[in-house]
Structure formats: structure tokens, C-alpha cells
């Protein structure tokens, strides 16, 4: 099974490969491409490294969630006017475990 570290260490070797990764969601953002297509981007961290991921539409995940991602790895991919590198285009993202909430107050004092 490939890891995020495998993908970023040898991106050309894995270009176009179908991947299944499990890791933690970091830097979660909802975005619009130049053509106004909505997509969600995040970084998946799995202990071996970090790999950028994007999925079309709005994904039902939160910052810090543990997720499974199934998709295709691209050494280079055009995303609207932007070229993204070493990225997984997710066809499927499933939350395995919700992010832990820190104890303490949840609102303003």
C-alpha cells in the first residue's frame, strides 16, 4: 500500500496511480476554480509525509478528522488557471473518526 511519503518522494513514478490513503485532514479549505467549479482541498498527513488532496464539490469532513481517501495521484494537474503538483484527486473521501475536541469553554467569555 502506498503512503503519502511514497508519493511525494517519487511523484513521477506514481503519476496516474490509483491510491488509497488514510490520514489526518490538515489545512482544510473550500474553494472555487477559475471556471467557478467548487472543490475542497486539504493536506493529508499519514505519519510518513503530507500530500495535498482535492475533491470536487463540498466534502463532509472537518479539520483534524481521520479520513480514507480513494483517488488518482497526479504529478501535475491543471485545476482551473492553477497548476497543482504532487496531488491526489479524490473520487471518494470517508470520515473514519471525527477530530477530537479539546476540553474547555466553547464560546466567548
CA-angle at 107, arms to 104 and 109, nearest 5°: 90
pLDDT tens digits for 38-54?
889 999 999 999 999 99
Indicate the average pLDDT of the chain. Answer: 89
pLDDT tens across 53-64, in order?
Answer: 999 998 999 999
pTM summary value? 0.85
72 contacts 30 by C-beta, under 8 angstroms? no
In angstroms, what CA-CA distances link 61 with 13, 25, 43, 44, 75?
29, 8, 12, 12, 25
| All domains in the chain, ordered by first residue | 4-97 (2.40.50.140)
- What value does the mean pLDDT take over residues 83-107? 85
Binned at pLDDT 50, 70 and 90, residue 104 comes out as low
Amino acid at each position: 500500500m502506498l503512503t503519502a511519503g511514497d508519493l511525494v518522494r517519487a511523484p513521477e513514478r506514481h503519476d496516474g496511480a490509483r491510491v488509497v490513503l488514510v490520514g489526518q485532514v490538515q489545512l482544510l479549505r473550500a474553494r472555487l476554480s477559475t471556471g467557478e467549479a467548487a472543490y475542497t482541498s486539504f493536506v493529508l498527513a499519514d505519519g510518513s509525509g503530507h500530500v495535498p488532496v482535492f475533491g470536487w464539490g463540498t466534502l463532509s469532513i472537518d479539520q483534524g478528522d481521520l479520513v480514507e481517501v480513494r483517488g488518482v495521484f497526479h504529478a501535475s494537474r491543471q485545476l482551473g488557471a492553477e497548476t497543482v503538483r504532487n496531488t491526489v484527486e479524490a473520487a471518494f473521501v470517508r470520515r473514519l473518526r471525527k477530530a477530537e475536541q479539546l476540553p474547555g469553554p466553547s464560546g466567548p467569555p
